Amino acid sequence: MVRLLSAALCVLPLWSGVSFADTLPSSYLLNPGDKVSISVWQEDTLKQEAVVLPDGSITFPLAGRIEVAGLNATAVAEKVKTALKPYLAEPNVSAVITSTAGNQVYVQGKVIKPGAVPMAGPTDVLQALSMSGGMDKFADESAIKVVRGQKVMPVRYKDLISGRDMSTNFQLQAGDTLVVP
């Protein structure tokens, strides 16, 4: 009994570590339009808030242009640190995301309020439609689609509303366009 209990106690930390790691939320990744504040410890002149440009980059003194779209704050700090190494012996860089204005989707077509919809958290098709005021009476429910880059994903709205099949209630990503003809 004692051996069984000690074996279980040895496995428990491994099992709980895997389970905990699986449940950790992923960190926010920068999009064009977001803002990030970068500072270098003990270098007062190297502190700046930068807007992520449409091409996914920022500029920072001495470091120049740095690609940051798709990176989290820790990765941005590391990229800036690497770029500053030729100028500073051991730069201690911190980066903090100060605005997530680039985290939005676009809803166009026959909805009450077409336009950009900010995503404060994970947002799916039904939520974006709701934030757009819903569809107007002339909307074609059978032709709704999500456009992601060059990919077009049809939405089966009647299945979503009835709860029969939620597979087309796609999780939206920054930059997606929800088209309601």
pLDDT tens digits, residue range 10-44? 444 443 333 333 334 568 999 999 999 999 999 99
Question: 172 with 116: CB under 8 angstroms?
Answer: no
pLDDT tens readout for residues 44-63: 999 999 999 999 999 999 99
Q: What amino acid occupies position 36? A: V
The values of phi and psi at residue 11, to 5°, are -80, -30
Does pLDDT of 5 surpass 60? Answer: no
Would you state the pLDDT for residue 24? 40
Among residues 77, 99, 121, the one where a domain terminates is: 99
Q: Residue 9: inside a domain, yes or no? A: no
Query: 127 is in which domain, residue-wise?
Result: 104-180
How many whole angstroms separate alpha carbon 104 and alpha carbon 19? 31
* Structural domain ending residue among the three candidates 99, 122, 152: 99
Q: Are residues 115 and 84 in the same domain?
A: no
Work out the percent of the chain whose per-residue pLDDT is above 90: 84
**C-beta separation of 106 from 129 below 8 A:** no
Whether the full predicted model's pTM is greater than 0.75, yes or no, is no
Number of domains, the chain:
2
Q: What pLDDT does 23 receive?
A: 39
Nearest Cα residue to 90 out of 140, 41, 148, 30: 41
- Residue 157 maps to a domain: yes
Tell me the mean pLDDT in the region 59-75: 96
138-148: average pLDDT: 96
Residue 95 has pLDDT above 80, yes or no: yes
pLDDT of residue 26: 65
